[in-house]
Chains A and B, each alone.
Chain A
Amino acid sequence: MNPGTPESDIVEPFRVSLVSERSSSATVVRDLVAAGDRRRRQRDVAKTLARTAPIGAAGVFLVGILGSGVGWSVAVTAAVWIALFAVLVGWAFLTTRPRPTTDAIAVDVDRDAGLAGELRSAHWFSLNPSASAWAAFHLDEAARRSSAVPWHEVYPRTKSRKSWLAAAVLSMAAFAVPAGLPTGSWLPVSVPAGAEELVDMVELDGLSPELRDKLLELLAAVREGKMTPMEAMAALRELTDFAKVDAAMKEQIAQLLNDALTSRDQFEKINPNLADAKTMSADVEWARENMASRVASEEAQKAEDAARGGESEPSDSKEPGPTTEQSAEGEAGEASEGQPGAKVPAKPSESADGAAVMMLGNPSSAVGEPGSVFGGKRGNVKYGTSQASEIAASLKREMVEAIVNIDRSDLDKEDRRRKTQQSWSSLTYTRSGSRASFDRARTESVQAVPEARKPVVERYFVRPATPDSNEEQSTR
């Protein structure tokens, strides 16, 4: 070494070469960890996709089949397939994208590669450079050994050919199979099992196909609890074909709807979601009776109206009956004359047109509680309504209210709560007295010093005076 050469000039080249070698090894180590981590995540993603893809394709297939039955377009199936594909691809992309390596990642990769902690340790030294030759040697060795690891064996490609094949087949079937099925509502999706049998039990040959289909649909709705028989009846009345149906058939239909309501209990066994409806049996019973009586009276009224209409048709057509408002006013006037408890008789209409005649309908049904039959004053319904559909609509609203009340939703929530399981413990506490109780009476009293001995005792604690002290005291 040249004595004049500064030490740094000698050391620096070696240090630079060492650092460059180390940095290359450090880069290799970091890259290996990152690559291993990415391979590991790709393997995991591939495994997950291989498991998920057939399930997703099966789901798309089911959507295709059900959509064909319901009448959906193929575009719906395609949209579902594309959405599912996009979700899986997006998830795979996000999961396998490059990320900065950490010690935890290095631990996993090192363990998988069986490098006994070398890669992890070297990874830390690659992120935290050290001037030590030992660290450089460690990095070099780790880079060499890690590079020799057969990473494709550590993280082998997932062999999931069957899964992907199944996914492809199911995906193609999702589009191909529905194409071979008849389009339209061939699938009894909205009509539960039993509705057809229920209808077949009754002679409904006189119904038009449209009315029959509608009836099936409504029966299903009643059985599923989506609709009350009253609502179903109102919906049927909105159809033009329903007016052509005779009274006997209408009674059969009403009975069918009632039976559908009755058979809901059986349906609940199939559909547990309706289990809560069991609690409304009393109200449902009332609704059924109410509806049956209304339908019966309505039909009787119509029959009577038809009979009367034939007799007074010419005059009725010229002189329409009083309006509902007029009837209501008359009723109000009578009620205000000091007869609050008197029943308000419905005024006989001269007209055969409209349902106002129905107020008179069956004499037996006209008597009783208002509102229990058609024509009763309830809510905003006014007397003299000439449209049966309005009455049905009002009844529909009433039933809706009843249904609302059926599930006890208007009751206080406190009533539905489960009471707290609370009880008093059977364990009792008995205060036990301490074994060693202090009884003052049992203690021995301190012997008091007898009065006669007290001076002696006092003198005992007084230091006897010496002759000198006596002299001092005397001199003072």
Chain B
Amino acid sequence: MTTAAVAQHIELFRERFVRITTEVGRRIVGHEEIVAGAVTSLLAGGHVLLEGIPGVGKTSLVHTLADVLHLRFSRIQFTPDLMPADIVGTHIVQEHAQGGTFFEFQPGPIFANVVLADEINRATPKTQSALLEAMQEVSVTVGKTTFQLEQPFLVLATQNPIEMEGTYPLPEAQLDRFFFKLKVEYPPEEALHDILDRTTQPMDVSVTRVMDGAEILEMRQVARSVPIARPVQAYAIRLTLGSHADSPYATPLVKRFVRYGASPRAAQTLVLAGKIHALRHGRAFVSPEDVRAVALPALRHRILLNFEGDAEQVNVDTIVAELLKGVSV
């Protein structure tokens, strides 16, 4: 690859990224950063956890993203009585034409490119854990058979705040498997006007498919090619280590309120998302600012508070913000 080719790759990546976000923005109003975060996760090969109160457009966002991408889409509505087999699939009895019966595997909704796990925290942890292998290994094991899922594979899970009734907190292992946790805030007043205009008037808000799976896989390769200087990588590592209470980089809030800090997956997320962030802005290198820009969605769900933190209702975002302020670049 020549330097000219590198320049072309960067420009193409940037152009495609803008194309996706622009197309999603035709239907989704006022959540540009959420859309960008979801697309970043898709291009990094990660999964997204969208958290927000009901009615702020989480599910619509995922629907729109699946529509924009030429990918297979499936939706799983998580309920307390949902079973793992309802997600991964099960063997059912079939009859031969000649007579006799046999078991045949019936794939579940997990066999898709974009899976919307709606209200994932309404299912029991047992059912939630059915997604673990799929999210990490991109495969599903049923019985003695392991089925490889098709790439690109993206789980977009939505959840309501934990404080709401009838919800189960996600297991830590599953939380760690989400690339980003994006908080969908209530739309501002101006955005509400746009939402009402688009949904209560005869307006065409249909979106077109702008990209297919092959292009997404190509963009993933490009994203991983971006070089990162060791000092910048060291900064990402310091940020990750700083989320541990016993780390020398830990800030006072971390030391006081954090029980478990971020895992090495967090460092991977920081670097990979930083690369994509740099490409989004047409750069072929990762700067500390890129790492800082993605630190909040990458770390907020990977930091577990201790009892005191829970009791005092400490916001993890505050801890991450202090971490960004306290850890030297």
Q: Which A residues are in CB contact (< 8 Å) with B226?
A: 134
Contact across chains for A138 and B289 when beta carbons are under 8 A apart: no
Contact across chains for A132 and B230 when beta carbons are under 8 A apart: no
Given A116-B287, A117-B285, A128 and B230 contact (CB-CB distance below 8 Å): yes
- Select from chain B the residue with minimum beta-carbon distance to A136: B3
Q: Does residue A398 face the partner (Cβ distance < 8 Å to B)?
A: no
Give CA–CA (A132, B283) in the complex, Å: 15
Contact across chains for A133 and B231 when beta carbons are under 8 A apart: no
Q: Does residue A137 face the partner (Cβ distance < 8 Å to B)?
A: yes
Give CA–CA (A132, B285) in the complex, Å: 12
Task: Identify A124's interface contact among B1, B229, B288, CB under 8 A.
Answer: B229
- Select from chain B the residue with minimum beta-carbon distance to A21: B3
Q: Does residue B191 face the partner (Cβ distance < 8 Å to A)?
A: no
Given A116-B289, A117-B285, A138 and B231 contact (CB-CB distance below 8 Å): no
CB contact list, B26-78 vs A, under 8 A: none
CB contact list, B203-224 vs A, under 8 A: none
Contact across chains for A141 and B284 when beta carbons are under 8 A apart: yes
Contact across chains for B285 and A118 when beta carbons are under 8 A apart: yes
Give CA–CA (A124, B228) in the complex, Å: 10
Given A118-B285, A138-B285, A133 and B229 contact (CB-CB distance below 8 Å): no
CB contact list, A63-119 vs B, under 8 A: 103, 107, 116-118
Q: Which A residues are in CB contact (< 8 Å) with B231?
A: 103, 120-121, 124
Give CA–CA (A137, B329) in the complex, Å: 24
Task: Identify A118's interface contact among B2, B3, B287, CB under 8 A.
Answer: B287
Give CA–CA (A280, B213) in the complex, Å: 98
Given A103-B231, A107-B329, A135-B227, A118 and B6 contact (CB-CB distance below 8 Å): no
Interface centre among B3, B232, B288 (most CB of A within 10 A): B3
Q: Does residue A130 face the partner (Cβ distance < 8 Å to B)?
A: yes
Give CA–CA (A133, B5) in the complex, Å: 9
B70-110: contact bitstring with A at CB < 8 Å (1 yes, 0 no)? 00000000000000000000000000000000000000000
Cβ distance B295 to chain A, nearest Cβ, rounded Å? 15
Cβ distance B294 to chain A, nearest Cβ, rounded Å? 14
Contact across chains for B1 and A133 when beta carbons are under 8 A apart: yes
Q: Does residue B7 face the partner (Cβ distance < 8 Å to A)?
A: yes
Contact across chains for B232 and A117 when beta carbons are under 8 A apart: yes
Q: Does residue A174 face the partner (Cβ distance < 8 Å to B)?
A: no
Q: Does residue B225 face the partner (Cβ distance < 8 Å to A)?
A: yes
Contact across chains for B229 and A134 when beta carbons are under 8 A apart: no
CB contact list, B272-314 vs A, under 8 A: 283-290
Cβ distance A101 to chain B, nearest Cβ, rounded Å? 13
Give CA–CA (A78, B230) in the complex, Å: 54
Q: Does residue A164 face the partner (Cβ distance < 8 Å to B)?
A: no
- Select from chain B the residue with minimum beta-carbon distance to A123: B229
Q: Which A residues are in CB contact (< 8 Å) with B6?
A: 133-134, 136-137
Contact across chains for B285 and A122 when beta carbons are under 8 A apart: yes
Give CA–CA (A443, B287) in the complex, Å: 75
Q: Which A residues are in CB contact (< 8 Å) with B284?
A: 134, 137-138, 141
Q: Does residue A140 face the partner (Cβ distance < 8 Å to B)?
A: yes
Q: Which B residues are in CB contact (< 8 Å) with A141?
A: 284
Interface centre among A118, A122, A125, A138 (most CB of B within 10 A): A138
Contact across chains for A125 and B229 when beta carbons are under 8 A apart: yes
Contact across chains for A117 and B227 when beta carbons are under 8 A apart: no
Given A107-B329, A118-B287, A140 and B3 contact (CB-CB distance below 8 Å): yes
Given A107-B329, A138-B227, A138-B284, A121 and B232 contact (CB-CB distance below 8 Å): yes
CB contact list, A281-310 vs B, under 8 A: none
Give CA–CA (A132, B229) in the complex, Å: 13
Interface centre among A103, A107, A124, A130 (most CB of B within 10 A): A124
Given A121-B229, A124-B231, A128-B230, A133 and B285 contact (CB-CB distance below 8 Å): no
CB contact list, A120-167 vs B, under 8 A: 120-122, 124-125, 128, 130, 132-138, 140-142
Give CA–CA (A120, B2) in the complex, Å: 23
Give CA–CA (A120, B229) in the complex, Å: 9
- Select from chain B the residue with minimum beta-carbon distance to A125: B229
Contact across chains for A121 and B287 when beta carbons are under 8 A apart: yes
Contact across chains for A121 and B3 when beta carbons are under 8 A apart: no
- Select from chain A the residue with minimum beta-carbon distance to B281: A116
- Select from chain B the residue with minimum beta-carbon distance to A132: B227
Give CA–CA (A124, B7) in the complex, Å: 21
Give CA–CA (A120, B232) in the complex, Å: 9
Give CA–CA (A294, B33) in the complex, Å: 99
A249-272: contact bitstring with B at CB < 8 Å (1 yes, 0 no)? 000000000000000000000000
Give CA–CA (A457, B3) in the complex, Å: 98
Q: Which B residues are in CB contact (< 8 Å) with A118?
A: 283, 285, 287
Q: Which B residues are in CB contact (< 8 Å) with A136?
A: 3, 6
CB contact list, B225-241 vs A, under 8 A: 225-232
- Select from chain A the residue with minimum beta-carbon distance to B290: A117
- Select from chain B the residue with minimum beta-carbon distance to A130: B227
Given A132-B227, A137-B7, A138-B227, A121 and B1 contact (CB-CB distance below 8 Å): no
Contact across chains for B3 and A133 when beta carbons are under 8 A apart: yes
Q: Which A residues are in CB contact (< 8 Å) with B289?
A: 116-117
Cβ distance A129 to chain B, nearest Cβ, rounded Å? 12
- Select from chain A the residue with minimum beta-carbon distance to B225: A134
- Select from chain A the residue with minimum beta-carbon distance to B7: A137
- Select from chain A the residue with minimum beta-carbon distance to B228: A121
Q: Which A residues are in CB contact (< 8 Å) with B285?
A: 117-118, 121-122, 138, 142
A124-B230, A136-B6, A140-B3 provided; 10 other pairs, C-beta below 8 A? A21-B3, A120-B229, A121-B285, A121-B287, A122-B285, A133-B6, A134-B1, A136-B3, A137-B6, A141-B284
Can you list 28 A-B pairs with a CB-CB distance of less than 8 A?
A107-B329, A116-B287, A117-B285, A117-B287, A120-B229, A120-B287, A121-B232, A124-B230, A125-B227, A125-B229, A128-B230, A132-B227, A133-B2, A133-B5, A133-B6, A134-B6, A134-B225, A134-B226, A134-B227, A136-B3, A136-B6, A137-B3, A137-B6, A138-B227, A138-B284, A138-B285, A141-B284, A142-B285
The 6 closest A-B pairs by CB, nearest first: A117-B287, A124-B229, A137-B6, A137-B3, A121-B229, A133-B1
